[in-house]
Structure 1
């Protein structure tokens, strides 16, 4: 256990952006204030709202001096609000949460303990999904870190050194709706990650969440697509001196589940292999077999969607020839299914 005496314990800053969040706000604030690790400051970045969020915030601030309120009189998007809160933070360690989600009581303690003991820059944990009423839906255990190439597998419960934010020069305000994913991808080049396999957070699924809006709101979906392109442009450029646009196309279309001709994979095999090689030189991607496996899975998935002139049998032969060492039973079954049977 970490020593929790305030005079010796490092300060942890939690940033909480709030906009029309009254429905679940009390639970979110209490989960921050009731942490087993008590040397925290809670910075609430409040955007002028039409509900009673401010009254709730002021009520808690009047009873707990660890709360700081920052009021934005003009609505900010999430990465703007995060930067405002982070720049106000005094802590050596930083994190942020949402006004509809809940920390487990020992989340900050365990994440901080991990950062200090493992000598890493960023630690993150698993979570459980809850519904509108706070009832558990299911556990969500994130895949190994290497999978971050194709999807955000850091999640919502994390803690990082202030240096990470500074080296990243904050959150990219042009990457609204993927601001967290973009932040992690940019941090890969200078910071070490550690995955703590403990459920430390409750993520609430409901109709008003940004995640839900991306799926069902055309305007939000368009913003998300544009931000994905910007995010992957930066990430691929960091690992490729040239041909980064090819990697950007591969990653962005994969994230969006867009169909790609299998011939595109064959044509750009050299570039993709160079990207994998460059990734493996980064300290966060030391498991080369894992990198090969996740790329193989993506290539097989592309094969299953492709309706091109080339037969699936010939595509399967190509995959076996190029990636045979990394085929597992599941991959082999998929190749057989799509090579010899109708889709």
Structure 2
């Protein structure tokens, strides 16, 4: 296999506990042709000193010390501009790679010259221990952008020429969802994505990430990030309809995008009719999104109405049966329990 240079950007800020594991996971890769760009964002701990003391003689590693704390988007942009590699990968300073991550991603990108990037699943450690999966094929990833960031940002490997020829960099005005916003622009420029269905990136959840906040050892959604993400959802939906469209109904749009749950059954029936018209319109303008995806999405919103009911009853069961063809299906065991609760007027 051809072994082009891969540049790995590590934006760091106060990660002295983890930075050695992060860098060593790159140096121990099965793929040898690498350069490592450590971009430090004015750490106040010993991050910089540790990099200097252990890796100062390693010619694969370049350390950049910023004079002003400007955030990880700025750090990554510096890395992209300084990168010499054909491919550019990312690694957060408190995470690490599985040993063959780079080799597998390079192989994919070399075999598929039309891809702008390749990502992987995430293996979570720390406050959560699970694998986060993402859509694999570009068509599914392109659809998924409507509902949120469609790939694992931390695990991506970019084709450097696609970024630089299209002048694509992170928006440094965004402190949250800057990855999501960049991916939207990449797709608009014709970039194709692919996810390797393996957990090749180890993502440490500490509760200190921008995406989360920690309360009583529980990981909660970052509301500021959620507000930015919602605005991006509207931006993506505008490829299909916007506020000037006859089909645009804010209440139903928010239900489709899962910003809110429909609470009224009459509204639910109107929402189903609206969603059908939306799918017809999508097909008439050559499908910005796949009709199957839109169908699954609105059916999940219909299911959300029933899952949001606090007290179940025969009437709720009748409603459920009435719209069953337009509702996402529950697991059979859960569905059975739901029906029993309706018959016994239990709380849900």
Change (3 A) 1:269 1:317: same
SS of residue paired to 2:320? helix
Matches of 2:231 and 2:27, distance apart in 1: 36
Q: What's the TM-score, normalizing by structure 2?
A: 0.76
2:299 equivalent in structure 1: 296
Matched, 1:199 2:199: yes
- Out of 70, 73, 90, which is 2:84 matched to? 90
Is residue 17 of structure 2 the alignment partner of residue 15 of structure 1? no
Pairs aligned (count): 326
Distance 1:233 1:337, change over 3 A: farther
CA contact (8 A) 1:232 1:251 kept: no
In structure 2, do the counterparts of structure 1 residues 75 and 239 end up closer, same or farther at CA, with 3 Å as the change threshold? farther
Deviations 1:213-268 (A, max 9, x none): 276899993422332233223222233343396676346654xxx54425555444
Q: Post-superposition shift, 1:317?
A: 4.2
Aligned counterparts of 2:91 and 2:252: Cα–Cα separation in 1 = 31
Q: What do residues 103-122 of structure 1 show as CA deviations (whole Å, max 9, x unaligned)?
A: 11110110121123244222
In the alignment, which residue of structure 1 is the partner of 2:254?
A: 249
Corresponding residue of 1:160? 158
| 1:111 has 2:111 as partner | no
CA contact (8 A) 1:22 1:51 kept: yes
Match of 2:43 among 15, 40, 49: 49
Q: Structure 1: how far apart are the matches of 2:156 and 2:147?
A: 19
Distance change >3 Å, CA 183–CA 247, structure 1 → 2: farther
Greater gyration radius: 2
The equivalent of 1:240 in structure 2 is 241
> 296-305 vs 42-51, which deviates more?
296-305
Unpaired runs of 5+ residues, structure 1, are none
Q: How far apart in 2 are the matches of 1:139 and 1:62?
A: 35
CA contact (8 A) 2:256 2:297 kept: no
CA RMSD of aligned residues (A): 3.8
- Please say if residues 121 and 192 of structure 1, whose CA atoms lie closer than 8 Å, have aligned partners that are also in contact: yes
Counterpart-to-counterpart distance in 1, 2:270 and 2:312: 15
Q: TM-score, length-normalised on structure 1?
A: 0.77
Post-superposition offset of 1:320: 2.4
